[in-house]
Structure 1
Amino acid sequence: MSTATPATLPDLATADVVDLAAAVCDIASVSGGETALADAVAVALAAHAHLEVLRDGDAVVARTSLGRERRVVVAGHIDTVPIKGNVPTWRAVADDGTEELWGRGTVDMKGGVAVALHLAAALTEPRWDVTWVFYDHEEVASELNGLGRLVRLHPDWVAGDLAVLGEPTAGGIEGGCNGTLRAEVSTTGRTAHSARGWRGVNAVHAAAGILDRLNEYEPREVDVDGLVYREGLNAVRVTGGIADNMIPDSCVVTVNYRFAPSTTPAQAEAHVREVFAGYDLRVTDLAGGARPGLDDPLVAGFVDAVTGVTGGAPGPKYGWTDVARFAELGVPAVNFGPGDPMLAHADDERCPVDQIRTCALALRAWLAQGA
């Protein structure tokens, strides 16, 4: 009986980083199916003697132990959302002459993973000890998240003085992240035949007041450590109704509140309950944000080194990312990686190849500086 040939990656240290990104993308790893890529990553990293390779499920950790004064963590997830005919990858030239790598994961976030894999192998004597983390199940429910699992089961594997998450930032630095809260705001009514609607109470109609409050809501812009975070409170789902000829007796409006990292989860919940006072409300998901920590000397050094290559200035991360998990550990963390986040999860997902190379150069400049 024949067995499938294991997926492999090119030599991490010598491969062109864009070719490596394509190879990583071409090993399909939709959430829950990361094993083939995790196997390939583990084997490829183990070929480099300066790295200690550890594994938990489909999360792979490689680290140096050079006795440096500081340790930094560079992390990225290896899973993607479902494929839509966009694997294997291909290259194309945009109208403006920019060469782009197309395919699932090129933006979110295998371009960043390729940068980390290449530098993990190539930098045998970095200025600090480095822990490289490649984890599973980021694109699904939070309780399955591989980084969260490492934090719970192996906190020493992800300990450090600064963390860099390779999420797509179009090659800029995005500090911290907003927090996120999801809640179900409910109304109740009484069923009746729709031909005799006056005998019932329509719960969907009663939800108009919830939508009115959302329409009237004015989100804040909050300055946190010199970066301005935009908040938002929006309906993301409305459910209700039993049948097309019945008055609905219940309606649920699911809302999502994105709040600045200076707001605690408890404060965020209290705020949402105040907005919807008088309605039944159940919080279904709540995760705090992460402050950018730009005043930390190690973060400032990272910003100086990277912007010296890329230009620009740090901005805020409006969405929630796993930098928040590092923040909970007291580790300042930033987002930095190739790819336009507006194209994450899109069927036309694509990343400029020069952006992948520039991110690799910038991260190398920081990690090799003074080494």
Structure 2
Amino acid sequence: MSAGAVATDGTARDLLADLVAIPSPSGEEGEAARRLAAFFEERDREVWIDEVGNVRAPADDAALLTSHVDTVPGEIPVRIEETDDGREELWGRGSVDATGPLAAMAVAAVRTGVSFAGVVGEETDSRGARFLVGDREAPDALINGEPSGWDGVTLGYRGFQVGTYAASTDSAHTSRPEPNAIQRATAWWSRVDAAFESDEETPVFERVTAKPVEIAGGVAEDGLSVEATIDAQFRIPPGETAASIRETVEGELGSGGEIEWREPTPPVMESPRTAVARAFRAAIRRRGGDPRSLRKTGTSDMNIYAGAWDRPMATYGPGDSALDHAPNERLDLGDLDRAVAVLEDVCETLQQ
């Protein structure tokens, strides 16, 4: 069967269009979650929205299909455009990350009878996935939904550690030579950045990378001190731990400042020889594709699932991840159809 020969009844396309048309930035997933739940109700599947906002549709736990309902902020007019080579693309925030994978999984779950969960908060604190692993038993296998391309399967993600540095110094005339809190904060970040400097020939997936994401500072409201904060993110490759990164960062504090850490997300690297990975390779080949195994430099809810459940898993979904969060985010609808077919094949294989 050629890649272009996949039939579709339009179900996934219709669901995708409905969901993308509903704004669902993290914390505001309610309306999209209700539309997703209605999709299962209309097909006589047990479904409910749990206390944190996840859409839960349990069934055959031979596989749990799960993707996130939330998107990053941003308005992109929802529309379908035809490309010069005759393909149809749906434009809209979340079409790639990850409403496309979410819609594909919902349709495949209904057609094959496997379990499904649409989770909230992936783009911020993964609160939906964290709640899920504490509220249900581990499935036999798990497929997480993120864009990998219809012919790609993601087996690895780096982990994630977030911290906030804070420094405070007494206010003084700016002519004095002693460093204020802002200088201490920027000097601290320079030391941290240097501590994680690595050989450029080392693949990014295998490096610790440090990134400041927000800096604030100035004279306090009472005028008696200068304060500075830096919010920083650290990506953790397999083989490294959050504890070792925290130790390095704290070792650069010197005599000024302190850092407050959030709960870390561990890295994950799944074997390409699991039943899930094998099922994907076979399904992609059956649909005319050449399967690709991917390692991503970011982090996803799969990290949470792998840290809690010792089960075979992978991440899969239609879409070009280079368009994640982008102003030109759009999904090839033919790839959506192929992804649904691949997911159906994989689920049926895991159910045997």
TM-score bracket relative to the smaller structure: 0.7 to 0.9
Contact 1:102–1:350 (Cα < 8 Å) also in 2: yes
2:35 to 14, 37, 40: 40
What is the CA–CA distance in structure 1 between the aligned matches of 2:186 and 2:244, rounded to whole Å?
A: 26
- Tell me: CA distance 1:278–1:167, structure 2 relative to 1, closer, same or farther (3 Å): farther
**Contact (CA 8 Å) 2:168, 2:257: kept in 1 or not?**
no
Residues 228 and 252 of structure 1: is their aligned pair in 2 closer, same or farther, counting only changes over 3 Å? Answer: closer
Q: Paired residue for 1:202? A: 180
Distance 1:47 1:273 in 2: 54
CA distance in 1, matches of 2:193, 2:243: 24
Asked whether 1:75 is paired with 2:53, we answer no
Q: CA deviation at 1:117?
A: 1.5
Comparing 102-111 and 281-290, the one that deviates more: 281-290
**1:147 equivalenced with 2:129 (yes/no):** yes
Please name the residue that 1:121 is paired with: 110
Higher relative contact order (CA 8 A, sep 6+): 2
Change (3 A) 1:259 1:222: farther
1:306: how far off? 4.3
Aligned to 1:302: 279
- Equivalence map 1:287-298=2 (5 Å): 287-294=264-271, 297-298=274-275
Q: Which amino acid aligns with 2:21?
A: D
The residue that corresponds to 2:100 in the other structure is 111
CA deviation after TM superposition for structure 1 residue 272, in Å = 2.6
Tell me, in whole angstroms, the C-alpha distance in 1 between the residues paired with 2:181 and 2:24. Answer: 42
Paired with 1:175 and 1:200, the residues of 2 have a C-alpha distance of 50
Measured in 1, the distance between the counterparts of 2:314 and 2:255 equals 39
Deviation at 1:311, TM superposition (A): 1.8
Q: 1:220 to 1:45 in 2, by over 3 A?
A: farther
Task: Pick one of 47, 52, 65 that aligns with 1:53.
Answer: 47
Residue 200 to residue 264, structure 1, CA distance change in 2 (3 Å): closer
Tell me the equivalent position of 1:258: 235
For these two proteins, the number of residue pairs brought into alignment is: 337
Q: CA RMSD in A?
A: 3.2
Q: Which residue of the partner structure matches residue 3 of structure 1?
A: none
Q: Secondary structure at the match of 1:268?
A: helix
Residue segments in structure 1 that go unaligned for 5+ positions in a row: 1-12, 125-129
Q: 1:93 to 1:123 in 2, by over 3 A?
A: same
2: CA distance, partners of 1:55 / 1:110: 17
Q: Does structure 1 retain, via aligned residues, the 8 Å contact 2:236–2:267?
A: no
Q: 2:296 aligns with which of 305, 317, 321?
A: 317
CA displacement, residues 284-331 of structure 1 (integer Å, 9 cap, x when unaligned): 323232422215532332342244244242121211111122112223
1:155 maps to a residue whose letter is R
Q: What are the superposed Cα offsets for residues 71-110 of structure 1, whole Å, 9 maximum, x if unpaired?
A: 21110111223342x25x2012346654321011101211
**Where do 5+ consecutive residues of structure 2 fail to align?**
1-7
Q: How many Å separate the matches in 1 of 2:212 and 2:293?
A: 30
Cα displacement (A) at 1:277:
5.3
User: Counterparts of 2:312 and 2:199 in 1: how far apart (Å)?
Assistant: 24
TM-score (norm 2): 0.82
Deviation at 1:228, TM superposition (A): 4.9
Specify whether residues 33 and 256 from structure 1 end up closer, same or farther in structure 2 by C-alpha distance, changes over 3 A only: closer
- 1:183, CA displacement in angstroms? 2.0
> Could you tell me whether the CA contact under 8 Å between 2:67 and 2:101 is conserved in 1?
yes
Q: Which stretch of the first structure deviates more once superposed, 273-282 or 263-272?
A: 273-282
Distance 1:94 1:257 in 2: 39
Contact 1:222 1:228 in 2 (8 A): no
Q: How far apart, CA to CA, are the structure 2 residues paired with 1:293 and 1:91?
A: 36
Q: Secondary structure in 2 aligned to 1:287? A: coil
Between the aligned partners of 1:214 and 1:296, the Cα distance in structure 2 is: 38
Report the TM-score, using the length of structure 1 for normalisation.
Answer: 0.78
Counterpart CA distance in 1 for 2:254 and 2:283 is 46
Contact 1:102 / 1:348 at 8 angstroms: preserved in 2? yes
Seen in structure 2, the aligned counterparts of structure 1 residues 14 and 353 have a Cα distance that, compared at 3 Å, is closer
Seen in structure 2, the aligned counterparts of structure 1 residues 183 and 42 have a Cα distance that, compared at 3 Å, is closer
Please name the residue that 2:4 is paired with: none
Match of residue 64 from structure 1:
59
Structure 2 residue 316 is matched with structure 1 residue 336: yes
Q: Is the 8 A contact 1:303 1:314 kept in 2?
A: no
Which of 326, 332, 346 does residue 352 from structure 1 map onto?
Answer: 332
Distance 1:183 1:316, change over 3 A: same
